[in-house]
Amino acid sequence: MSYRTCTCGALRATHLDSRPILCGWVDSRRDHGGVIFVDLRDSEGVTQIVFRPEENHALAKLAHSLRSEDVIRISGRVARRLSGTENTRLATGEIEVVGSTLEILNRAEVLPFPLNSEISNEDLRLSHRYLDLRRPSMVRNLRLRHRLQQTTRAYMDEQGFLEVETPILGKSTPEGAREFLVPSRTYPGHFYALAQSPQQYKQLLMAGGIEKYFQIAKCFRDEDPRADRLMELTQVDIEASFFKSEDIFVLIEGLIGRIFQDTLGLRIPTQFPRLTYQEAMERFGSDKPDTRFEVELIGIGEIFRSTEFKVFRGALDNGGCVKAINAKGFAHITTGQIEELTQIARQYGAKGLAFIKVENGEWKSPIVKFFTAEEKKALTARLNIEEGDLILFGADKWAIVCEVLGRIRVRVAELLKLVTDATRLDFLWVVDFPLLAFSEEAGKWGAVHHPFTRPKTEDLPLLDAGKFDQVRAEAYDLVLNGVEIGGGSIRIHEQELQARIFETLGIGPEKQSLLFGHLLRAFQFGTPPHGGIALGVDRLMMLLCGTANIRDVIAFPKSSRGQDLLFFSPSEVEAHQLRELSIQLTRKS
RNA sequence: GGAGCCUUAGCUCAAUUGGUUAGAGCGCUGCCCUGUCACGGCAGAGGUUGCGGGUUCGAGCCCCGUAGGCUCCGCCA
């Protein structure tokens, strides 16, 4: 005989007088001294069980001993609830099961935290994750994640893509994120690296003629976690041959549309707007702009072309720029808030944050005394300055000004609660990223996306001319509400061009063949033009679930310091394990 | 590698300027209660104030260190 005949979400008035067997957890027990109600919960729902002492005294006595989260098995008869006692909040609320047998499968101790309220003590949740997963919001999130993954597989299959698994144990190629190293037992002193992305494998699949590949891939990066990023991540990884950027956009717009339809039942635009990286930085001060609110960055260098104000003068003379944002109606900003914004400005490289408060027809500002009447007039027109406005300035190198004002723009929007429609979804593509960026720290050029990214064909002459900062890449990011949820590029498929890029990145011929010989060799045997993208499943899930905490969308996440509080990993290992791996510890903590 | 905030009962939190026996709500335990649905009522138990040290007549509160949680910068091709 099976454990149960139906789930706790199944019974309706149409089942009256049937004799079901149910299993589940005691969600709550209401003991009236006489009659006892038990809300029985399983993964499918909740059903009220009623035990009546006048029908079975011993049974009621046993039911009296039930406690929250005990696991039980009951049999009984489906009855219509007494008139007026139906529970409209339950799908099964029209009926109840009058218990005739009760079997206690496993008793539960008092839980370390309640399941019916949101709690903040995250280490407790993580150390008892199996209990936390019983909470309705976690159940919902995991179900949404399942739906996202099923929908992705169905859609990609329909589009003719082949799901191919690639190795987790890969080769260390110390470009990009720090890798997790895995010692080899059979090759002492040699190491695998956990895949930080299936990037090279998927390109080799293209060389292998697969043409259309996708995978829901686990990736590992040994970098410090953040609220929206852990060391382990899941990507929808996609690569296709004979695809241009345009083909990727269409494919992904379709996929994202299906995902939002199937998970939240939402229809979203079939095409997403596009913004170049240059324009995104100029107007929003971010390569992942949140376009749900205005407050754009406005260049005002022209107005102050011949200013005497030292701060602006210095920035302009050093080839920098002056920009401002108008935080409409924020003249009432407090001293503390100004201080906070100034901290942000400093954090991102500005020396300070100049501002003007427009109150009672007056410009209240420590800097306005340096402005001429003409400059004030031009500024008023350019920024549409009105009573009650707060103007915030940035004057420095272009990149710093954009970044600083971009960050301040986002904070101002939070403070002013400019996003009024919580359901709004602003998708956009950011395109034409720079190919290369100079790293002051490393003293050399690095790839903005990754070293396999294709330069835009029309910018190849700039590459030849050594104007590396001007070369744009055939690369794109997908942004939703100011969050980067994916990124990709068209790749290099020619051995010669790839070698040249490696050279530019400071990877000489010897190192090239050592680290990337497999790829360069493949390119010599007819690798087709190809490109792809990777979508961050965890980030996308956060947006779908409306949470700011990435742990809410992962069944067994690590803590913010990378520890697993349930298993307590990482952990020490026994000496013989280390001996087998030819590893000797230099430091014991 | 750096910075900030937090840690008091099982949980969420309070505790005036450093001053009596560290409180509340929920939960828990027992009793009462026959139509509730976060049932209700009465009573009770429950504390190494994360840990270690220091200052002080006196420390939950101040100082130093340490562990853990969260967040941010760097980092994340």
- Sorting pLDDT into bands at 50, 70 and 90, what band is A589? very low
pLDDT digit string, tens, across residues A254-276? 999 999 999 999 999 999 999 99
Cα Rg, chain A, nearest whole Å: 30
Q: What is the DSSP letter of A109?
A: P
Start-to-end CA span in chain A (Å): 55
- Protein residue closest via CA to C1' of B41: A32
What average pLDDT score do residues A455-477 get? 97
For chain A, give the mean pLDDT.
95
- Among A172, A167, A164, which Cα is nearest to A237's? A164
Six-digit token pair at A288?
């992942």
How many Å apart are A349 CA and B75 C1'? Answer: 17
CB-CB contact of A133 with A142 (8 Å): yes
Q: Which residues contact A311 (CB under 8 A, 6 or more apart)?
A: A351, A352, A354, A367, A395
Which whole number is the average pLDDT over A284-313?
A: 95
DSSP per-residue string spanning A125-137? HHHTHHHHTTSHH
**Strand, helix or coil at A151?**
helix
* Residue A31 and residue A64 in contact, taking contact as beta carbons nearer than 8 Å: yes
What ipTM was reported for this prediction?
0.92
If you average pLDDT over residues A438-455, what whole number do you get?
Answer: 92
Tokens 């100011």 — which residue?
Answer: A482
- A112/A221 Cα distance (integer angstroms): 33
Residue A550: which nucleotide is closest by CA–C1'? B70
How far apart CA A583 and CA A490 sit, in angstroms, is 41
Domains of chain A: 13-106 (2.40.50.140), 138-275+430-553 (3.30.930.10), 293-415 (3.30.1360.30)
Q: Which of A222-236, A292-306, A338-352 is the least confident region?
A: A338-352
Q: How far does the CA of A31 sit from the C1' of B69, in Å?
A: 38
**Which secondary structure element, helix H or strand E, spans residue A338, and what is its range?**
helix A335-347
For residue A174, what pLDDT band results from cuts at 50, 70 and 90?
confident
Q: How many angstroms is C1' of B4 away from CA of A553?
A: 26
Residue A191 class from Cβ within 10 Å (0-12 exposed, 13-18 middle, 19+ buried)?
middle
Q: Give Cα separations from A268 to A113, A403, A484 (angstroms).
A: 39, 29, 17
Report the distance from CA of residue A121 to the C1' of nucleotide B5 in Å, as an integer.
Answer: 14
* CA gap A95, A16 in Å, rounded: 8
CB A401 within 8 A of CB A320: yes
Reading the block at residue A487, the tokens are: 């990124």
Q: Which nucleotides of B are covered by protein (CB under 7 A)?
A: 1-2, 10-13, 26-29, 32-40, 68-77
Which nucleotide is closest, CA of A55 to its C1'? B34
- pLDDT tens digit string along A390-408? 999 999 999 999 999 999 9
pLDDT of A442: 84
The model's pLDDT over A481-532, given as tens digits with 9 standing for 90+, comes to 999 999 999 999 999 999 999 999 999 999 999 999 999 999 999 999 999 9
Nearest nucleotide over every DNA/RNA strand to the A112 CA, judged by C1': B10
Alpha helices in A505-548 (DSSP H): 509-523, 537-545
Tokens matching residue A386: 């009105």
- Cα separation, A366 vs A260, whole angstroms: 49
CA of A121 to C1' of B11 (A): 9
Give the integer Cα–Cα distance in Å for A470 and A445.
12
Largest CA distance in chain A: 96
Cα–Cα distance, A223 to A79 (Å, whole number): 58
Average pLDDT over residues A350-368: 94
Cis peptide before A509 (omega within 30 of 0): no
Q: Which nucleotide is nearest to A34 (CA to C1')?
A: B34
**Tokens describing residue A15:** 């089942």
Tokens of A103: 């079997």
Compute the average pLDDT of residues A445-452: 95
* Å between CA of A5 and C1' of B32: 37
